[in-house]
């Protein structure tokens, strides 16, 4: 697949496409960097982090790597729609970076995310993303348990359309067809933080999404909730925006001494 076809196919802005094209025309190290990414990812990151245009370079390389991945999709007989849906993530994160900085690129904290899709371990199937992985922690549920090192399917929630129960169920059915039902499915997300029930109406899509899971573990180390709710992880809670109902309730919750975190949940059978 041609790089420009990929960029236009996922809907990158014309400014981003033009900047990527300039890098492509000047770049003489692509094959060497591709080899590094596959065999010494730390060194790959180190080289790009030393550049003046780090964020833009990451955007270029991940787009070019995605083009190369298309051939692997074809060899495995994976339909084009899944390819485009999966790598739409690049556009989503590129838009997020532009909203925050006014520049084209990918933010530092997502640099280590895209290898999952490039190694065909993560696919977007409808509204949700699903990743084959080994569990890095033990998770105890009411009627089930995931052991550390166990082969599992991790569920991720990309930015997109409303997270209604109907689209979630549809995505899960696609995942069952793709991965089977033998392995446990789990999710680690701010959307599963139990105390969101204090901040949201009972019939909110987020709480209905929680109902799919047996939530038994909370991770207070993560501040993903603040990032997703307020668009940033600020130094002072008092400075957070209050433009939405969730922002208002979450800000008051934090100011009153509460803490936001992530929940671990095992998908109910």
For the chain, what are the domain ranges? 1-120, 121-269
> How confident is the model over 67-111, as pLDDT tens digits?
999 999 999 999 999 999 999 999 999 999 999 899 999 987 787
SS3 167: helix
> How confident is the model over 215-252, as pLDDT tens digits?
988 988 888 999 899 988 888 999 999 999 999 999 99
- Considering only residues 138 and 98, tell me which one the structure prediction assigns the higher pLDDT: 98
Whole-number mean pLDDT of the chain?
A: 93
- Helix runs in the chain, H state only: 3-9, 14-26, 30-39, 41-49, 54-75, 80-101, 115-118, 165-179, 205-210, 224-230, 245-255
Residues 42-50: what's their mean pLDDT? 93
Q: Which two tokens stand for residue 22?
A: 């300039």
Tell which CATH classification among 3.40.50.620, 3.40.50.80, 3.30.559.10, 3.40.630.120 matches the domain 121-269.
Answer: 3.40.630.120
pLDDT at 43: 95
Assign 179 a pLDDT band (cuts: 50, 70, 90): very high
pLDDT at 145: 87
Question: Is the entire prediction scored with pTM above 0.85?
Answer: yes
pLDDT at 220: 87
SS3 6: helix
Is the pLDDT at 4 greater than 90? The verdict is yes
**How, if at all, do strands 151-156 and 213-219 pair?**
unpaired
The length of the chain, given as a count of residues: 269
pLDDT at 102: 96
Q: What is the largest CA-CA distance in the chain?
A: 57
Is the pLDDT at 180 greater than 90? The verdict is yes
Among candidate residues 146, 129, 92, the one with its CA nearest the CA of residue 264: 146
Assign 200 a pLDDT band (cuts: 50, 70, 90): very high
The answer to whether 23 and 56 have CB atoms below 8 angstroms apart is: yes
Least confident interval from 35-49, 69-83, 134-148: 134-148
pLDDT at 107: 87
């Amino acid at each position: 697949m041609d790089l420009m076809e990929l960029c236009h196919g996922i809907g990158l802005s014309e400014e981003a496409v033009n900047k990527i094209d300039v890098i492509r025309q000047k770049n003489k190290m692509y094959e060497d960097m591709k080899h590094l990414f596959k065999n010494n990812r730390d060194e790959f990151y180190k080289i790009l982090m030393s550049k003046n245009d780090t964020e833009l370079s990451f955007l270029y390389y991940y787009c070019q790597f995605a083009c190369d991945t298309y051939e692997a999709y074809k060899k495995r007989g994976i339909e084009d729609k899944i390819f485009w849906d999966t790598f739409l993530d690049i556009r989503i994160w590129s838009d997020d970076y532009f909203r925050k900085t006014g520049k084209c690129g990918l933010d530092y904290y997502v640099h280590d995310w895209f290898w999952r899709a490039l190694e065909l371990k993560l696919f977007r199937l409808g509204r949700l993303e699903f990743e084959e992985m080994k569990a890095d922690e033990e998770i105890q549920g009411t009627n089930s348990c995931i052991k550390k090192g166990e082969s599992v399917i991790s569920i991720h929630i990309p930015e997109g359309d409303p997270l209604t129960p109907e689209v979630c169920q549809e995505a899960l059915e696609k995942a069952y067809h793709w991965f089977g039902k033998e392995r446990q499915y789990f999710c680690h997300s701010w959307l599963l933080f139990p105390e969101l029930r204090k901040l949201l109406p009972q019939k909110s899509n987020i709480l209905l999404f929680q109902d799919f899971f047996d939530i038994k573990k909370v991770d207070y180390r993560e501040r993903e909730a603040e990032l997703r709710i307020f668009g940033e992880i600020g130094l002072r809670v008092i400075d957070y925006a209050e433009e939405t109902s969730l922002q208002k309730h979450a800000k008051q919750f934090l100011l009153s001494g509460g803490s936001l975190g992530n929940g671990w949940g095992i998908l109910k059978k």
